[in-house]
Amino acid sequence: MKKITTRFALLLAAAAVLPLLAYGVVSIVSLTRGAQQAVIAGNLNVASQVAEQIDLYVNGSVKILRAVAADLQRTGLERWQQDRILKNFVLQFREFRELTLLDENGAALVTSRLGKPTAIVPGSEGVAINGVLMSRFSLDDDLLPTADVAVRLDERDGGGWLVGRLNLEELWRMVDGIRVGETGYALVVTREGQLLAHGDPAAKSQVARGDNLSTHPLVARIDAVAPAARVASAEYDGDRGQMVGVAAHLPSLGWTVVVEQPRAEAFAIPIRLQWQLAIAIAAALMMMLGVGYVWGYRFLDPILALTRGTRALAEGRLDARVKVTSKDEIGQLASAFNNMADKLVELQEDVRKKERQALFGRVSIGLVHDLSHPIQNIGNSCKLMVKMFDDPEYRDTFKRTIERELAQVKRVLDDLRNVARPIPLQRFPLDLNKTLAELVESMQPTAERSGLRIETEFVFGPLYIEGDQFALNRVYRNLVMNAMQATPPRGRVVVRTRREDDHAVVEVEDTGCGIPRERLATIFEDFVTTKRRGLGLGLAIAKKTVEQLDGAIAVTSDVGVGSTFTLRFPLTPARPSRLAAV
């Protein structure tokens, strides 16, 4: 039964559970990867947009500077007009904190400053954007990031430079305004690794300190990739734990825009979806297992019922039937099983009937055998008694004959009664050797009349058992008598005792004709005998008696060699006190 359920479970697992599990794993992995890639792509998009906005902002500022330069050149403006233009531009475009017109020698001609101009032409450390030089950024005293930008003026107008001090406050606002999720932020790093802006409020001190982030994992990575790639992403340990970061390169300035987000937050949706999918798959699995169990139960239950019915039949419970209502093959099988069981009952009734008839016949024959002889003797004796009533000697003979035959009749009837209703045994401690010795002695004359000699081989010492002496004598007498009857003259009957562990063993061995092997199995059954006549109750009664005394009886026999009946009784642990006092 286990096998079929195991197979069925394996079938269910192979057909449904494992594929669903595999599907779930693949789905979760795909979903997680897909969602993570989507998050990274989204963050990359943010970083790229910020980079583009910065690019636009800086390039827009450069365009403004160029526009101012264009306004100042070849227009024949007075100095005061140039002064006004510079001041108006500074007021209009807050990204410029200062605009100053320098001559070829670097001397200030006009400036938007009310005080002394401070902007200077950038040196070689700067970058060139659309013909405009830009210095590195630094923080001014107001903590605002500034850089000097300069555009060369036309030689025909005397040359010189228009220098502006560009204020990237707007860049800060732009970076501050970027929030990816709840706590994700952006930061901007220059080509040299200088941190220009940081969207994390707690990390702004790094900007004020002028921290160098050239060793930042993404900054280092984006420097390593080809310029055309422009973007990079990575996961790394940050101050706030595991971070997911993306970087976009700003080629015109050589800056890098990094967007960082705590990994737990960035992938919160994939993780949540992962959990939801896992739960859905688990629920589907549970449902499938439930359905499988119910369906399997409904499928297997008739088979198990058939199995139970078969087992019940094997155990002799012929009333067992299988309740299967389905119309399928299993239902037909169950119906056939029930029909078979009905047939078995009928057959068993027939067998029993025939057995009863056979038994009745055997009992009848036995009774006829066992009783016909005494009755015939009694009848003959009665007839002779009529003729020889006056003969006192015959009357004595008649009396002995009648008493002997009636005793025979009584024994037969006692045996029958004993089979039907065993006589309760009275247990007393008794010495087997002694009991057997007395019995053998009493039967020795009978044996000698048959040309036999009963030999004894008793173990030394007493063998105490709890037994009914009268019942045991009947058993011994029956066994010895059977042995004598089976043994031809000059044969040998041996009564033997021995001690085996805590048991006393009695053997009655003869050198008689032996019992055929096929009859050994039923020799202790009622009304079974090896003799041609008789009820066959002796060994059955003997077996019942021995078993009532917690003993056992067995027989070994070889046809033509002889038989040995072995009785085994538990020894009493010590000599009974009552006997000890004797």
Partner 1 sequence: MLTIGSPESGVSRGDPGIGSLSFSTLEGLTQVAVSIDGRALPRLAESWSWENGGRRIRLQLRAGVTFHDGTPFTSTVAAQALRRRMEQPGNLALYPSLGDVAEIRPEGDLQLVLELSQPSAFLPEELDLPIAIGPGNTVGTGPFRLVSRDSSSIVLERFDRYYLGAPHVEQIVVRPFNTLRTAWTSLLRGEVDMVTDVPSEAVDFIRNDDVQVIPFARSYQFLIAFNSQKPPFTSSAVRRALNVAVDREALTATVLQGQGQTSTGPLWPRHWAYDSSIVPYSYDPQFAVTLLDGAGFPLRTRSRTPDRPPSRLRFACLLPEGFSLLERIGLEIQRQLYDIGVDMQFDVVPAQEFDARMRDGRFEAALVDMISGPTLARPHIFWGSPRREGLHAFGYQNPEATRLFELLRASTNEAAIRSAVGRLQRVLLDDPPALFLAWNQRARAVSSRFRVPNEPGRDPLLTIRQWTENTDSPRVSTQ
Task: Mark residue 76 as left, alpha or beta (left: phi above 0; alpha: psi -120 to 50; beta: remaining).
Answer: left
Site string for partner 1, 204-243 (x = CB under 8 A): xx-xxx----------------------------------
**Is residue 61 a contact point for partner 1 (CB under 8 A)?**
no
**Is residue 87 a contact point for partner 1 (CB under 8 A)?**
yes
Residue entry with tokens 């009552």: 578
Burial classification of residue 108, based on how many CB atoms lie within 10 Å of its CB (0-12 exposed, 13-18 middle, 19 or more buried): middle
Query: Which of 50, 61, 68, 113 lies at the binding interface for partner 1 (CB under 8 A)?
Result: 113
Q: Rounded to 5 degrees, what are φ and ψ at 150?
A: -140, 140
**Is residue 72 a contact point for partner 1 (CB under 8 A)?**
no
Give the binding range for partner 1 (CB under 8 A) out of 84-92, 388-396, 493-501, 573-581.
Answer: 84-92
Give the binding range for partner 1 (CB under 8 A) out of 66-74, 140-148, 354-362, 429-437.
Answer: 140-148
Which of positions 154-173 make contact with partner 1 (CB under 8 A)? Answer: 169, 172-173
Query: Which of 125, 141, 329, 518 lies at the binding interface for partner 1 (CB under 8 A)?
Result: 141
Provide the minimum distance between the beta carbon of 252 and partner 1 in the complex, in angstroms, as a whole number.
Answer: 25
Query: Which of 88, 214, 274, 377 lies at the binding interface for partner 1 (CB under 8 A)?
Result: 88
**Is residue 114 a contact point for partner 1 (CB under 8 A)?**
yes
Positive or negative torsion for Cα 498, 500, 506, 507: negative
User: Between the CA of residue 325 and those of 69, 291, 301, 302, 419, what are the distances in Å?
Assistant: 102, 21, 11, 9, 47
Query: Which of 52, 103, 104, 140 lies at the binding interface for partner 1 (CB under 8 A)?
Result: 140
User: Between the CA of residue 403 and those of 387, 397, 418, 473, what are the distances in Å?
Assistant: 20, 10, 21, 22
**Is residue 107 a contact point for partner 1 (CB under 8 A)?**
no
Give the binding range for partner 1 (CB under 8 A) out of 85-93, 183-191, 321-329, 491-499.
Answer: 85-93
Query: Which of 33, 74, 79, 410 lies at the binding interface for partner 1 (CB under 8 A)?
Result: 79
Give the binding range for partner 1 (CB under 8 A) out of 77-85, 295-303, 359-367, 438-446.
Answer: 77-85
Burial classification of residue 577, based on how many CB atoms lie within 10 Å of its CB (0-12 exposed, 13-18 middle, 19 or more buried): exposed
Q: Judged by CB, which is closer to partner 1: 2, or 116?
A: 116
Provide the minimum distance between the beta carbon of 45 and partner 1 in the complex, in angstroms, as a whole number.
Answer: 25
Query: Which of 3, 76, 105, 116 lies at the binding interface for partner 1 (CB under 8 A)?
Result: 116
Query: Which of 17, 24, 84, 459 lies at the binding interface for partner 1 (CB under 8 A)?
Result: 84
**Contact present, 174 and 196 (Cβ < 8 Å):** no
Provide the minimum distance between the beta carbon of 243 and partner 1 in the complex, in angstroms, as a whole number.
Answer: 18
**Is residue 81 a contact point for partner 1 (CB under 8 A)?**
yes
Q: How far apart are CA 567 and CA 553, in angstroms?
A: 5
**Is residue 201 a contact point for partner 1 (CB under 8 A)?**
yes
**Is residue 76 a contact point for partner 1 (CB under 8 A)?**
no
Q: How far apart are CA 240 and CA 237, in angstroms?
A: 8
Kind of pairing between the strands at 145-152 and 161-167: antiparallel
**Is residue 337 a contact point for partner 1 (CB under 8 A)?**
no
Q: Judged by CB, which is closer to partner 1: 168, or 537?
A: 168
3-state secondary structure 185-205: EEEEECCCCEEEEECCHHHHH
CB neighbours of 10 closer than 8 A, spacing ≥ 6?
A: none
CB neighbours of 51 closer than 8 A, spacing ≥ 6?
A: 248, 249, 250, 255, 257
What does the buried/exposed string (b/e) look like for 439-462 if buried means 16 or more CB atoms within 10 Å of the residue's CB?
bbeebeeebeeeebebebebeeeb
User: Between the CA of residue 169 and those of 57, 123, 178, 347, 475, what are the distances in Å?
Assistant: 11, 23, 14, 108, 124
Query: Which of 2, 3, 76, 78 lies at the binding interface for partner 1 (CB under 8 A)?
Result: 78
Provide the minimum distance between the beta carbon of 178 and partner 1 in the complex, in angstroms, as a whole number.
Answer: 14
**Contact present, 199 and 178 (Cβ < 8 Å):** yes
Q: Judged by CB, which is closer to partner 1: 187, or 452?
A: 187
Give the binding range for partner 1 (CB under 8 A) out of 8-16, 52-60, 196-204, 383-391.
Answer: 196-204
| Residues engaged in binding partner 1 (CB under 8 A) | 78-81, 84, 87-88, 90-91, 94, 112-116, 139-144, 169, 172-173, 176, 201-202, 204-205, 207-209
